[in-house]
Structure formats: structure tokens, C-alpha cells
Structure 1
């Protein structure tokens, strides 16, 4: 199938826009790749330090045989259910490497925070910039510079983008990402959401709410809704950075162990064959567009409108929200997974999963097929599903969708366009995820109610002040203000108001991400209020129009009055550089230097 002309055009304009920065990046990559192996390049004392802690046989391989040495970067901790299985991965990888005459070392660990634990707490204000900390920690790990290849062990929200950003700064290394898979299905996500809404109304107490949450999040593995963590895994498949079909295999079984071992075999296969497939070469403008297309086709996390801008930048590629929006116009919606449907990721996998999505997009000319991947067979390998054949792995064709209420073909989509819309107007630039929003809620025009924090909105809801049509403006939530926390605690009260029949919407310079639900939400508003953006001029009672059909986000105030209106400043009590604590003051420098959400909220530029 010929490539869709819009995909071709958008990719070409990204390539042209990125020509200077991509060229400089590739030149740097080539210089690093041409160096002698680390054991020859480094001084004797350096080499001795590097191998002092590993078994004698491994030392002999590294020093005498110049065997390939894999650097493992591990995001393991047991605060994240998704990362618990990673504890045992280094031992498997080392064992497999030895079988192949190679070695592997844990180069370093990276921090990994659970947004589910920190939602609505001060810790969530560290969340976005933890991505940059993870990228820096990855660079620290790989700075030992003794490695011929790398394996990245991580799954969740900021962790995969951080690992990917860090790995791209060592773009000369062949690199494979190694996930852990989702937990088995617990309480259905739709039922969990219903209990949360009841709790917001006081109809369910803490004991009932806690019971529902414990039944939802119940074992090792990734959460089963299609949020940022699971979007990460789909994007890595679409970019060819996984062992094919690895994303949604549950942890704790023989298939998962063999896929982990296969990651070691795959990365060593690149180094031993001398096939030039380092991660910086794989992640080009075509791979970035493939990831964007896969995200849009599945209604994935809006966090990636920030993260993938940063990822692309790390490979010398410049993308923006216009690129996402223009792709969304031509990419059909092929999956309905919670919160865009009732199915969880286990049901998505059983119905066809990432392999079916990638196959349909390739066959429809909506993804680039002429791309480099970590596998010699290219991106077509990612249209197949792995299974055990005795003690070995085999891949087979997925066939047709097993459940068309969850996954569909490109010829019979849920929608002819993707689940994302760019909004623009006198309130700035914003994005809205419309894939889960009812059609009759795509346009909301109502008076503003302005809040300086999500706690203030909750207080007004509990005081019964919000039972009316309105647009809730929650400001001072951007990268420079407080680190741009996710605002999921706002979803239950707003959903309750919408359920009562009121026409409500959210407008914020904060994030909602992969769990964005059925209430229309204009998020990531840029420029943010703390940088003097238009949200700092909105007053209670101003009429606001959010139109996801025409792409408008407007305050309906006479232009002369709007231009003359004073810009509010962020209340001193909200500033985190005033010593409020709980670690937030350590991120003051990142907040001060952060670029806009559309620029990836980069803190290192």
C-alpha cells in the first residue's frame, strides 16, 4: 500500500524543519560509533574499576575476548506494581548474555515514581520533571562508557520517556526496551469509575472506595487502563524498539521470561552482526511519525503531546502540536480501550492488540514501513504475536479482530479521525482528547468559574456551589508554576456534574493525561498563567467557548476590554520556592527554566 499523502507530507515537513538539528545529531552519533571499544579506549585503571565487581569468567570475556558488554539501566522498585517484576530481570539477562559469549552489567538505576500513589498530593508536583531526572540518571549510568549495547528496563508514565531521552543522548548504542506487562484483570475500570463518582457524592464511604481500588490494583504488573504507561508500550512497539509483541504479555510466566531473554539476544544480534542499528538511527522522523500515528489510532495518552516532543528533540527532530493535529485528521480511531471504551488492555491484547493495530495502519498506508528497527525483519515483525513453541519463541499472524467492540480494521474504524484536537484562540493553544467525550459535549459555551488550585474546586463542589452550567478554569498548574501535575482528582466531581445534566468543561494549563475521560477538557493551555498567559486574565462569569469541532478556545469578552484587562500574578502561597517542602523546592530550578508544554516542557535547554 502506498503511503498516505498526508503522512508523507507531514513527515517531509518535519524532516525539513529538523534538517540542521538532525544533521548535527547524526554527526555526533557517527563520531561516537567510530571510537575503539571501551576496553581498548580506556586506561588500565578505568578498566580495572569497571570489571572489579563481576565474576572472573566475565572479566576474561571483557578484557581478553573483547566480548560485547550490555549496559542495563533498571527502573525497578516495588512502589510501582508495574516495575516489581523488573527485580529479577538482570539475572535473566546476564545468564542469557553468558550463553551467547557476552556479558552484561547493571550500569545504574533510575528513580521511578507512581503517579497513582501521588495523585492529588504534593508529590505529583515532582512527577513531570521526574522524566528529566530519569533521563539524567540514564546518562549517568551510561557515562561509564564501557558498553557495546544497552537494555532499558521500565514501563510507566515518565519512566519510559525519560529512559528514551537518556538513551538517545547515547544514540550510538544499539538499545532495546524491556517491559514487564500488565497485571491481570481485576475490578472493571468502568465499575471503578462508577464507585469513584459515588464517593464524590458521599454515597460510598472510604471503606467501600478503598475496597474497589484494591480490587482494581491488585497485583504486580501495569495498571490495566489505557493510560500513559500502556500508551508507552504501544509507542515502543510502533517504533520498533521492543522485541515484537512484548507489550501486553502478563508478568510471571514462561512466555514473559523468554521475551526478556529474547531482548538480550536481540540487542546482541545487532552488535554481533555489525548491522548498524543504534537507537539514534532507528529513532528518525519516520519512527516518530509512526509513534504519533499509533497513539492517535488508539486514543492514547495526551501526556505524549509533551513527552514525544521531548523525545524527538533528543534525536534532533522538531515536532509540534500542529503535526499531531494534522495527523489526527487522517488517522482513524481503531481501538476503544478504557477510558475510551469499556475494555482493559488485557481484553485489547486478546482482541488483537498492538500487532493488529500496526498491521492495519501499515496496510492502510498510514505508517512508514521503510524504517529501521531492532529486528532485522523490520516493522512487519511487529504485526505478529509471540507464543511458546516448546522452550522456544515463535511468532504467528494475529488474524482478524477477535472483538470488534474493542479493535477494528482500518476499513471499519470507530471514527475516521483520531481522538485528538488542537484548540486555539484568545486563551492560547491547547489540546483536547475527544475520543471518550460524548458527541453532544464537543461544544461547550458557559460562564467561567476560576480556581487557583484543584483543592479549591473540590471545596466548591463539596459546598454544592457548582450545580450549574460552567467552564471550570484551573490555573497556575503549568510547568513553570508547580511542575504541571496531573489533575485526575477533578474527574469524579466534574463527571458527577455532567451526569446531572449540566454542561461543564475544564480549561487548565495542567495535565489530565491517559485517564482523560468523558468530561471535555482543554488541557496544556500555553502560554501558561504563570508565564503571563491568557488564563491569568480570566474572571468569574466570563463566557468561554470550547469548540472541539472547529478547534476554538475563546473567552467571549470584547477585544478592547480583553486587551486592557490586568494579568493576575500567581498567589505567593502557591509558589514552591517559598520553602513549602516535601522535596518540591529541589525542583525550583527546573520550574524556572521549563519551556512550554508544546516545547516538551524541557528543563535542560
Structure 2
């Protein structure tokens, strides 16, 4: 194993120094919450405790009444709307039985909301999506507030759910905890086939029936969607930050190996919840080094841009002051080792079959490109995550070392022969403000775009302009008033087919927005998360149709090319957003919009 790369060491040390006071306050808070040992139920009155075990079956009731063995709280994001979460329906009963066999008890502490961004994409519900992260964190805290628990099991997969669960978990950072995935669905039609039908539909060359057939062939079974968007980036993060068991992120649902991994995860958190040397609160796992490893994983895999919001918010919940500058500094030294759609042809099943997380982590560690000396739920440093799980002939779970050779060099490569020498996520800065861009799948000849602005205050207006034939030219689409304070910062993935069609026609185009574009953003250069946002009077609100804009992902800049004094003198535009603030429950989130932090601080309220 090589020594740690000096840039990683330097960025980590800066982060540690910047976070010293806030991290110390956080650790003091969770130490006070943890008390002086013993089970947490010993603090409850008899009435409190009786309420807590009233509905349990006799064996569990007796154990809870005696109060000696740990009790595990299950936070479940199960629903039937998310294919990734449907397998969780049977998990609580399974976990309770495994817990009994391990000499502990388990109770569902609560459920949290879990919305499917795929269903709400381009719809009013998407304007509540980002804020659902903080709502999930709050619901997690409410669920654990009964103080009945000594350890926690978190069941969640998708976009805002894992970040929300982890933020909530860190507010109870004195409790040990583990995240249990359910795995990806089997591969359907290829992502390239699906995208071609979407583009054909956008051009009027395919009908709704043909489009629905393609979508249904792609999203067709229980399990996570197989492209590398935010959901699968979440799974990568939980593993590379030591919160999953090694190799568990992308094992298929409802298989013997998946069940064995789930059972082992329960046994593992049971051991971590016992008083003694193994006791390990989740707040001690998620520290500066774990956070930096998360950023490294995003770069090495071309992960979701949403994590420039989520990982910042997660880190803050642990007292760690992560900044976009840290992402940018690490991007220059972390090579891109994976190509998974939209950053390639493969899906996560092919990534897993090629060596998956074990191979990725082994390569990063071997090249000195991540921290090895961290704490994990597996009880090892990151060296324990260079293994892959399998069942022997008797059905017993064990781990074996991962191969040093990729199973598919078109999907996963060694650190000595990366797809790119640098990471896939970068920061942009200029007279418009700050933004981020995902460049891992943007063609080399589209990394710099200089073109006139076409300004929109609603993403639907882009489609209408396209249908009117007004966008058959070089331009940069400025889609503003999409930020958290405006309308909740929805994803604008609905724009992808339209913009892709225009780029394929040879036009030099880009997107500039204070909204989001998610982990599914692809070949079209997109400067997103612009801050300050338009609703806060940011400079993006000063841009007018025809202004020349230069987006330079190589230099890391984004600017309006007009005389500085003229741009400074302009008054920011305003927009009537009232139609976005009512209906479909959006009126209930007014306080979230009013209290939201800026995008570079996580765009949240907690």
C-alpha cells in the first residue's frame, strides 16, 4: 500500500483544522447523550418502558423488561412506490428473528417518507424532493426520540433517503448504526437504448406507447434502478465510508447472499451496541477522514452531483465543515476508475461483476488515494473492504480477497490506467457566482462553451421553445428561479433529452441553472447549483437574453462576458413563483423555502 497522496493529506488537514471547534462540540454532544453505559431503557420510568414493550411478542417483551440486552431500532423507508425499497417489506420480521438469535431485540422505531424522483420528475412533487431529505432526518430523530434503543438499523437506498437517514442518525450519533441496502434490479434494456427512445420521443419520432414500452423494459423489477445516479452513488458512499458491510452495496435483492449479508449486518450492529471494546457509535465512524473518502469515491466513480449538496449536509451534521473547494482540490488528483451509465455504457450490475466496490477500494488504497485508517461497521479499516462476500457450499457467508485484475476494463480499471486522470466533479466560479459541473461524460470538445444566453424562468418553457423551433442554434440555456428558496431546487433531468437532441445536431450548447441536474446528468455540459440563487438576488438573475456567457470546465470558470460596471449596475430580475408554492402539498413547505441554506452549505434546513 502506497503512502497517502500529499494533496489528500493536505485537504484532510485543512478540513480537520477548519472543523476543530464544531467537531469538538459534536463529539461532546453525543458523549453526553450516550451517558455512562448500560442500556438506554434504564433511564425510562416504568410507565415509559411499559408503553415501549406493550405490543412485543413474549420473548422480546421479557428481554426488554429485564433491560440487559441491547435493543435495536429499525428505521424503515419501505414503500411500494420505490422499486429499490419494495424488498424492505419483509425486512423487519427477518431482522427481529436474527436479533433474537443474536441475543438482542429489535423494534421498528419508525418509518420515514421516501419519494421516487423517477415518478415525480418534471412534476410538481419534484419541488418537495430536496426538502424531503431534511424531513427524513427529522422523522428519523422523532423515531429514535423514544430512547428505547442501543443500536440502529437503517433501511434506505434512494436519492434523498440515505442522506436524510444519515443526517438523522448523526443527530443520534451516540448510537451504533448500520445501513442495510436491498440491491439493484436485474439489468433490463440498455441505458443507451432507453435514451435513444427518449430522444426520439422529444423529436416527435416516437409515440407515447413506444416510450412507455422502453421505460417499462428499463424499470421492470424490485431493486434499485441500474444506472449510476444518486441512489447508486448513495450505496457507493455508504460502503466507502464504512457504513455498509464490504461488498454488500450491489448484491441482488431477495437472493441467499443478500439475506446472508442482511443477517450479518444485524449481528454486526448487535455486537457494536454491546458495552465493551467493540462498542462504536456512528458519530465516531463519520469523521473527517470518512468524509474525505466519500468525496474521493464520488470522483473515482463519476458519482452524482447531488452529493455536492448531500455530503456537505451530512458532514455538517457530524460537525465537519466540508466545502466545495475540498471537492475541487481533490478532483485534480483522483482518477476516474469507473464508467457506469451515464458515464459509459454499463450499469451497476456490470460494475459489480467487474469487481465492484472491492476492486475500486483496493485500487485507491494501493495508489495511496484514500484513507485506510478509519473506523467501520465491519470492525476493520478500509483494508477490510478490499474483499467480496460469497456463500460456501454450506451456505455460510465469508469474504475473499478481490482480484487484482478488472473483470471488464471497459467498466472498471486499475489506478495505473484510469479512464481519466482527474475526477468527474468540479467547481466553477465567476461573476455569475459559484456552481458545480459533472464532466466525466462530457466530450472533450464540449468542456468549453461560449455562446449567447437564452433565459428561462421555468423548465417547461425550454421544451416549448424547442417545439417552436427556436433553439436550433448555439446557446446557453439559463434556467433560473429553481433554487431552494425559490421553488425547492427540483431536478431538471427532464431537460436532458431536449438538450441532448440539440447537441447531437451539432449545436454548441450548455445549461446554467440554480436548480439541480442529478446523478443522471450526462453529455451536455451543465453548470448547476448556481449560488447565490436568483430568488436571493444572485447574479444569475441579472442575465439577459443574448448576453455572451463563457463556461470553461477546464479553467473552472463561468462568466457573463460584459463590462463589469454594466453588469454590477443591473437590477436582478424577479419572477412570480406563486403557482409553484401551492398544490400537491407544496404549501406545507413554505418554512423550508424561507429557511433554506445556500446550495454550497447543503441547501437544507437542518
**Superposed displacement of residue 561, structure 1:** 1.1
What are the Cα deviations for residues 313-348 of structure 1, in whole angstroms up to 9, with x where unaligned? Answer: 000000111000000011000000000000000000
**Superposed displacement of residue 575, structure 1:** 5.0
Provide the residue aligned with 1:69 in structure 2.
71
Provide the residue aligned with 2:8 in structure 1.
7
The residue correspondences of 1:73-222 to structure 2 (distance < 5 A) are 73-222=75-224
- 396-405 or 566-575, which deviates more: 566-575
What are the Cα deviations for residues 3-56 of structure 1, in whole angstroms up to 9, with x where unaligned? Answer: 111000000100100111100000111112224422221100000000001011
Q: 1:489 aligns with which of 489, 494, 507?
A: 494
Q: 2:451 aligns with which of 431, 446, 455?
A: 446
Provide the residue aligned with 2:396 in structure 1.
392
Provide the residue aligned with 2:326 in structure 1.
323
| Aligned counterparts of 1:135 and 1:420: Cα–Cα separation in 2 | 26
Is 1:581 equivalent to 2:586 in the alignment? no
| Aligned counterparts of 1:574 and 1:594: Cα–Cα separation in 2 | 19
Is 1:382 equivalent to 2:376 in the alignment? no
What are the Cα deviations for residues 182-224 of structure 1, in whole angstroms up to 9, with x where unaligned? Answer: 0000010011011100100000000000000000000000000
**Superposed displacement of residue 132, structure 1:** 0.4
What are the Cα deviations for residues 405-429 of structure 1, in whole angstroms up to 9, with x where unaligned? Answer: 1000111111111011211100110
Normalised by the length of structure 2, the TM-score is: 0.98
| Aligned counterparts of 2:35 and 2:323: Cα–Cα separation in 1 | 33
Q: 1:296 aligns with which of 296, 299, 303?
A: 299
| Aligned counterparts of 1:206 and 1:96: Cα–Cα separation in 2 | 47
| Aligned counterparts of 2:65 and 2:41: Cα–Cα separation in 1 | 7
Q: 2:355 aligns with which of 345, 352, 369?
A: 352
CA RMSD of aligned residues (A): 0.9
The residue correspondences of 1:450-599 to structure 2 (distance < 5 A) are 450-574=455-579, 576=581, 580-599=582-601
- 481-490 or 563-572, which deviates more: 563-572
Unpaired runs of 5+ residues, structure 2, are none
What are the Cα deviations for residues 209-264 of structure 1, in whole angstroms up to 9, with x where unaligned? Answer: 00000000000000000000000000000011011111000101111111111111
Provide the residue aligned with 1:45 in structure 2.
47
Is 1:252 equivalent to 2:254 in the alignment? yes
| Aligned counterparts of 2:136 and 2:577: Cα–Cα separation in 1 | 30
Is 1:237 equivalent to 2:235 in the alignment? no
Give 3-state SS (helix, strand or coil) of 2:119's partner: helix
Give 3-state SS (helix, strand or coil) of 1:73's partner: strand
| Aligned counterparts of 2:436 and 2:101: Cα–Cα separation in 1 | 49
Provide the residue aligned with 2:603 in structure 1.
601
Give 3-state SS (helix, strand or coil) of 2:421's partner: coil
| Aligned counterparts of 2:379 and 2:536: Cα–Cα separation in 1 | 47
| Aligned counterparts of 2:577 and 2:309: Cα–Cα separation in 1 | 27
Give 3-state SS (helix, strand or coil) of 1:81's partner: coil
| Aligned counterparts of 1:253 and 1:545: Cα–Cα separation in 2 | 51
**Superposed displacement of residue 574, structure 1:** 4.7
The 1:64–1:515 alpha-carbon spacing in structure 2 relative to 1, beyond 3 Å, is same
Give 3-state SS (helix, strand or coil) of 1:330's partner: coil
**Superposed displacement of residue 64, structure 1:** 1.8
Q: Is the 8 A contact 1:61 1:101 kept in 2?
A: no
| Aligned counterparts of 1:385 and 1:38: Cα–Cα separation in 2 | 35
Q: Is the 8 A contact 1:448 1:542 kept in 2?
A: yes
| Aligned counterparts of 2:166 and 2:571: Cα–Cα separation in 1 | 42
The 1:426–1:574 alpha-carbon spacing in structure 2 relative to 1, beyond 3 Å, is farther
**Superposed displacement of residue 82, structure 1:** 0.2
| Aligned counterparts of 1:443 and 1:479: Cα–Cα separation in 2 | 27
Provide the residue aligned with 1:369 in structure 2.
372
Unpaired runs of 5+ residues, structure 1, are none
**Superposed displacement of residue 582, structure 1:** 1.1
Provide the residue aligned with 1:415 in structure 2.
420
Q: Is the 8 A contact 1:39 1:66 kept in 2?
A: no
| Aligned counterparts of 1:572 and 1:268: Cα–Cα separation in 2 | 49
The 1:480–1:152 alpha-carbon spacing in structure 2 relative to 1, beyond 3 Å, is same
Give 3-state SS (helix, strand or coil) of 2:245's partner: coil
Q: Is the 8 A contact 1:131 1:161 kept in 2?
A: yes
Give 3-state SS (helix, strand or coil) of 2:451's partner: strand
Q: Which runs of 4+ in 1 moved over 3 A?
A: 572-575
